[in-house]
Amino acid sequence: MKRIAVLTSGGDAPGMNAAIRAVVRTGLAKGWEVYGVEAGYSGLMNGNMRSLGARDVSGIIQQGGTMLGSARAPEFKTEEGRLRALRELNRRGIEGLVVIGGNGSQTGANALSQMGFPVVGVASTIDNDLYGSEITIGVDTALNIALEAIDRLKTTASSHQRAFMIEVMGRDCGYLALMAGIAGGAEAIVIPEREFPPEQIASELREAYERGKAHAIVVVAEGAQHNAEELEQYFKQHEERLGFDLRVTKLGHVQRGGEPGAFDRLLATRLGAGATRCLEQGQHGVLVGWNRSEVTTTPLTEVVAHKKQIDLSLLDLAVELSQ
């Protein structure tokens, strides 16, 4: 009889629950016992885990967040922390671990795998900045939440001939801002991957008004070189000269808390099932991701050694589209 464990780590993402459900139910279908670890690597180090049955994951596929809880666990970055986790896993006779999460989580998964424990990662982060998966769990839902906000802000912006700046998540990566900006018809998109000085943003907004637009929308990634707070201050200082009013909306964690849409439920289900299939076949030390419409595996060593790039030609396209 095989016994495995599953945990969710780092920032939660809509669809994590669907992935847990898939790991638990496909694991049970193979005749295994499946443990759920509470609060990510913290729970793993403290041995905070319990056996999950099919009914324990009932009614969660449509829920955002994660039923297991998540955490950022700096102690797991130390060898001592990881040894504690290994002791807990061995003490319970657990033979495989599924880690659902993004970059930080998969770095932890790789470290554990390097210590000889069978680990399989599942690609999940709303940032879509994880190498080894074209799209990750939670991105589609987060994007739709951002879009809904942009659409609403556009309505009120038009009524008042205002400019609106919307900050979306993405600490190191502009994917969400870029895609939300294109799909939301933004006049300017500010992302960490390309410098966009405040003066240039201001002149693009001014030109948008001069072309007869009733509003101007700027989508800013939280990790951009000039973040929303800095840009807001700049616009306030130069308001008279610029000749327009700017309002700022920071979407923050609203983007992470939604119910997963169909895409994320299906993606999470396929990736979760892919993870138990890997463990069954003795394949570990890999990330289960989604590439070219298929479930794929990429060695965790490769995942942590690369930074995923976004397609910057889309930023040039966005400029053409905002005419």
Buried residues in 172-194 as b, exposed as e (16+ CB within 10 A): ebbbbbbbbbbbbebbbbbbbbe
Tracing tokens 């056996």 back to the chain, one arrives at 51
The distance of closest approach from Cβ of residue 225 to ligand F6P in the complex, given in angstroms and rounded to an integer, is: 15
Order across the sheet with 188-190: list the strands: 188-190, 216-221, 163-168, 246-250
The distance of closest approach from Cβ of residue 87 to ligand F6P in the complex, given in angstroms and rounded to an integer, is: 27
Choose, from 127, 129, 140, 264, the residue flagged as catalytic.
127
Binding positions for ligand F6P, rule: CB under 6 A: 11, 72, 102, 125-127, 169-171, 222, 256
DSSP 190: E
Q: Which is nearer to ligand F6P, 57 or 220 (CB)?
A: 220
Q: Which is nearer to ligand F6P, 122 or 273 (CB)?
A: 122
What does DSSP say about strands 163-168 and 216-221: parallel, antiparallel, or unpaired? Answer: parallel
| SS3 category, 26 | helix
Distance separating alpha carbons of residues 321 and 323, to the nearest angstrom = 6
Q: Which is nearer to ligand F6P, 230 or 316 (CB)?
A: 230
Q: Which is nearer to ligand F6P, 213 or 256 (CB)?
A: 256
With a CB cutoff of 8 Å and minimum separation 6, the contacts of 67 are 17, 20, 36, 57, 60
Question: Dihedral (C-alpha) 87, 88, 93, 98: value to the nearest 10 degrees?
Answer: -110
Q: Which is nearer to ligand F6P, 113 or 125 (CB)?
A: 125
The distance of closest approach from Cβ of residue 75 to ligand F6P in the complex, given in angstroms and rounded to an integer, is: 16
With a CB cutoff of 8 Å and minimum separation 6, the contacts of 127 are 11, 102, 136, 139, 169, 170, 171, 172, 173, 175, 176
| SS3 category, 295 | strand
The distance of closest approach from Cβ of residue 65 to ligand F6P in the complex, given in angstroms and rounded to an integer, is: 12
Q: Is 127 a catalytic residue?
A: yes
Q: Which is nearer to ligand F6P, 102 or 260 (CB)?
A: 102
CA distances from 36 to 39, 57, 103, 139, 293 (A): 10, 10, 21, 24, 29
Q: Could you give the residue numbers annotated as active site?
A: 127
